[in-house]
Structure 1
Amino acid sequence: MKKAVVIGAGLGGLSAAITLAAEGFQVDVMEKNRHAGGKLMPVSLLDYHFDFGPNTITMPQVFDRVFSKAGMRMSDVLNMKKLDVHTRNVFSDGTVFDFTSDSAAMKEQLKKIDPFAAQHYDEFLKEITRLYKLSETHFFPKMFESFADYLSPSLGTALLKVRPLESMHHFFGRYFKNPELIKAFDRYATYIGSSPYISPATFSMIAYLELVQGVFYAEGGNVKIAEGFKAAAEKLGVRFHFGSKVKRLQVQNKKVSSVLLEDGRSFQADEVIMNADLLQAYPELVDEQHRPGFKVSKRDSYQPSISAFVILAGLKKRHRELLHHNVFFSKDYKEEFIDLFSEHRYSSDPTIYISNSSYTDKSVSPAGDNLFILVNAPALTREGELAVDAEAYKERIYDILEAKGLEIRNALACERVITPLEIADTFGAYRGALYGISANRKMDAFLRPSNFSKDIRNLSFVGGSTHPGGGSPMVTLSGMNVGEAVASRYRN
């Protein structure tokens, strides 16, 4: 029986483990933390449950594919609920616009604040559907290793059709004229840790996922997805080693000969799949002499995505004006991205995202709102420093929310602040970046680090820093893609 070691039990690592185990591999998963799911981490404070990590779930069919590899149906493991009206956008002038996959309801709202958009909304849906279908066919299933992979006639034609040279902001401006409303669509760039004023319009297809397919929530918390994956893996015989941090990959003759843990244990494997952050873990675990194609200088040439400043706040009351997902926009959205990527500083007037999953599921927070409050943050400095006073910035965020009518301080039952420093330490994230590499540069948007090491024959990569990109469905796809490719080597 062929053996595989998976480093990291994030969604990418879990889907790779399940795929390989279904193909007959004996799989061992090494995870330095005590939970499965990576950034999809459960946090409990008193009786308040929070999901850290992906709060907005799309593409449930991807997760169902993983369960099917274990002979299971997702519906037998968890209840994935579609949110009818999923995101409340509150603009700086107090205007409220709710996102929903009900196009008629969207157009009724648009008639009031953007008549031009109301007239062109169907055209907009048609175009983002086209972008998505092209991506689904030509990009999601593939693993690109070099420019040569883009040179096939069909792929080259597809690439030219997905608006690679237009920015997301410019693209949305074709269909919407209200500048406040455009902010709500521009925010989709943050789903890939990037700026809408720079990243390619290709990624505007993210809007298709929310506004056509819809937004979902796993009852009991989105962490149930990771728990379900773990159960599916164990059904196939996958062995999990939690609290087990990998110290080094021993390389001989351009192959990983063994995986050495910090506790002294060693595992031999025919294949090694790294779900730990490629930018951080690859240089840490493999001596540079064994990876001439990925020296530290190459790693440092990438622009990290944004990170996050997070407050978990359990309240003793419920705010009726909050939906499951809520966004409170700043006055100058463009300035925020200048702060994040050019000035590398925290915005004094940030846009604030709030997930309040107890709006949908009271069981996760019986006594009041469970607010996951997130503000986009710059990546850590190269020296690993946090460029803000965490306590003062938390109070600044509370000030902004309370000025908008949300009572926080007097209703607090519990709270916890999570900064990019903790994100870097807990998840091994390079400079605390949430999504690996930003898509602000055309090269990085389309030619991310390969899923396969160019220097080590049996080492593969899955997760947000490689293809097809960041976000829970994409990293899950990366795991399946790599698992299937590795298994095919042995079938052939």
Structure 2
Amino acid sequence: QNYLKLLEKSKNIYDLAFCKLAHQPFHKLSTMIKQIPFLLKFRSYESVYKFTSRYLGNEKLRRAFSIQPLLVGGNPFDTTCIYSLIHYLERAHGVYFAMGGTGNLVKALSKLMVEIGVKITLNTTIEKFILKNKKVNSIIDHAGKVRKADIFISNLDPLHLYKKIIYKNNNFSLKYKKKYARHSMGLFVLFFGTKKKFNKIKHHTIIFGKEYFELLEKIFRKYELPKDISIYLHRPTATDASFAPKGCDSFYALVPVPNLISKSICWQKEANEFKNHVLKVLEKRLMPGLQKEIVQDFYMTPLDFKENYLSDKGAGFSLAPFFTQSAWFRFHNKSEVLKNLFLVGAGTHPGAGLPGVLSSARVLESLL
């Protein structure tokens, strides 16, 4: 009975926050002010964990139904309960997997862009913006090539963009957002293939450690590398056999860890030991004999996110999804300082995760 009440409240939040507001621009303060009555009605100042605890008394159920913010970089004990809509969203639409993986989604979008005449240049990093009269006049890439346009759209992490590239001409709003930014956690992602199939393992599995609140404190506040870890295990071969040779299996294990604000973690020295720890936990809890079955593995740490994706502090999801970093308080899809610059991606409205990032493109569409 209480679960049905939780589901109903989750639907109410979903109907407003996702269906009506996720695709609406929030670069004007007046838009935000109009939503205050609804935000108060849904107690958006409360955390996801507190929202869940109102309906569920069992601690294990509370954990299971409050973990969703971690999938977009937030601490369930701090993230606004607006993100409780994720539960109803998954119930309403289901959980899908693109055959061939996320890479095939990228290929499909690329194909569509080419069909409508978009020229795509790969393996190129934009390193400098030339500004003139509060506009972007041109951009310069790592090879020194200059590109001019009437409108520029950036999917860089906004913190990297406004700290490293456009660090001058920032107004009060941008200076405040940069100075007081609260980053999402980091990620340790271990990819591995096995010569044996683990047929009993589903496509998606979450393995909880003994700690929950204590684990999140270590990750988000103490910036300590935890020993008692929780793991999201992804087995795409449960749905798509093309991810591994016949008779073999393919996995990745995603482990929330502190971002690079941490001064106590040296990933160059500790990454391999942590990888072995993750494998031992998987072997003990879920996959007996795992380590002798592995034929290939590699991993990514917050350092890789910083270096390969230009993510500030190596954060896995840019800004954390606090109420004070949502909607108008988040980096705007229409630049706060440059008239012809627009932003999309995890650090802008509405936020991280594949639905959020694609929704930011819909916001941009309405602005242009």
Q: 2:224 aligns with which of 317, 326, 345?
A: 345
Q: 1:212 to 1:183 in 2, by over 3 A?
A: same
Q: 2:242 aligns with which of 363, 385, 401?
A: 363
Q: Which residue of 1 aligns with 2:335?
A: 453
Q: CA deviation at 1:213?
A: 1.7
Q: 1:150 to 1:296 in 2, by over 3 A?
A: closer
Residues of 2 paired with 1:199 and 1:393: CA distance?
27
Q: Which residue of 1 aligns with 2:185?
A: 306
Q: Which residue of 2 aligns with 1:44?
A: none
Conservation of the 8 A alpha-carbon contact between 1:209 and 1:215? no
Q: 1:382 to 1:179 in 2, by over 3 A?
A: closer
Q: 2:325 aligns with which of 424, 441, 444?
A: 444
* Equivalences for residues 149-298 of structure 1 within 5 A: 149-152=31-34, 155-286=35-166, 288-293=167-172, 298=177
Q: 1:468 to 1:386 in 2, by over 3 A?
A: farther
Conservation of the 8 A alpha-carbon contact between 1:354 and 1:373? yes
Q: Per-residue displacement from partner, 1:103-132 (whole Å, max 9, x unpaired)? A: xxxxxxxxxxxxxxxx33332222211110
Q: CA deviation at 1:405?
A: 4.1
Q: 1:439 to 1:396 in 2, by over 3 A?
A: same
Residues of 1 paired with 2:285 and 2:181: CA distance?
38
Is 1:401 aligned to 2:286, yes or no?
no
Q: Percent identity?
A: 26
Q: CA deviation at 1:269?
A: 0.6
TM-score (norm 1): 0.71
Is 1:435 aligned to 2:317, yes or no?
yes
Amino acid at match of 1:258: S
Q: Per-residue displacement from partner, 1:321-363 (whole Å, max 9, x unpaired)? A: 2100001101111111100111011211010110000011111
Q: CA deviation at 1:157?
A: 2.4
Return 323-332 or 169-178, whichever deviates more.
Answer: 169-178
Gaps of 5+ in 1: 1-118, 487-492
Specify the SS of the correspondent of 1:463.
coil
Is 1:472 aligned to 2:354, yes or no?
yes
Q: Which residue of 2 aligns with 1:390?
A: 271
Residues of 2 paired with 1:340 and 1:463: CA distance?
24
Residues of 2 paired with 1:246 and 1:327: CA distance?
37
Return 218-227 or 330-339, whichever deviates more.
Answer: 218-227
Residues of 2 paired with 1:454 and 1:180: CA distance?
43
TM-score (norm 2): 0.93
Amino acid at match of 2:296: C
Residues of 1 paired with 2:62 and 2:189: CA distance?
25
Amino acid at match of 2:274: Y
Specify the SS of the correspondent of 1:363.
helix
Q: CA deviation at 1:299?
A: 1.4
Q: Which residue of 1 aligns with 2:23?
A: 141
Q: 1:317 to 1:477 in 2, by over 3 A?
A: same
Specify the SS of the correspondent of 1:240.
coil
Is 1:327 aligned to 2:206, yes or no?
yes
Q: Which residue of 2 aligns with 1:48?
A: none
Conservation of the 8 A alpha-carbon contact between 2:259 and 2:315? yes
Specify the SS of the correspondent of 1:259.
strand
Conservation of the 8 A alpha-carbon contact between 1:248 and 1:284? no
Residues of 1 paired with 2:213 and 2:91: CA distance?
23
RMSD over aligned CA atoms reads 1.9
Amino acid at match of 1:469: G
Residues of 2 paired with 1:246 and 1:198: CA distance?
34
Conservation of the 8 A alpha-carbon contact between 2:203 and 2:236? yes
Conservation of the 8 A alpha-carbon contact between 2:223 and 2:259? yes
Amino acid at match of 2:40: L
Residues of 1 paired with 2:264 and 2:100: CA distance?
35
Q: CA deviation at 1:256?
A: 0.7
Residues of 1 paired with 2:219 and 2:283: CA distance?
24
Q: Which residue of 2 aligns with 1:336?
A: 215
Q: Which residue of 1 aligns with 2:194?
A: 315
Specify the SS of the correspondent of 2:189.
strand
Amino acid at match of 1:402: E
Q: CA deviation at 1:404?
A: 1.3
Give the structure with the larger strand fraction: 1
Q: CA deviation at 1:454?
A: 2.1
Q: Per-residue displacement from partner, 1:439-463 (whole Å, max 9, x unpaired)? A: 24x3113421111222211011111
Conservation of the 8 A alpha-carbon contact between 1:450 and 1:467? yes
Q: 1:135 to 1:405 in 2, by over 3 A?
A: closer
Residues of 2 paired with 1:428 and 1:232: CA distance?
26
Amino acid at match of 1:403: K
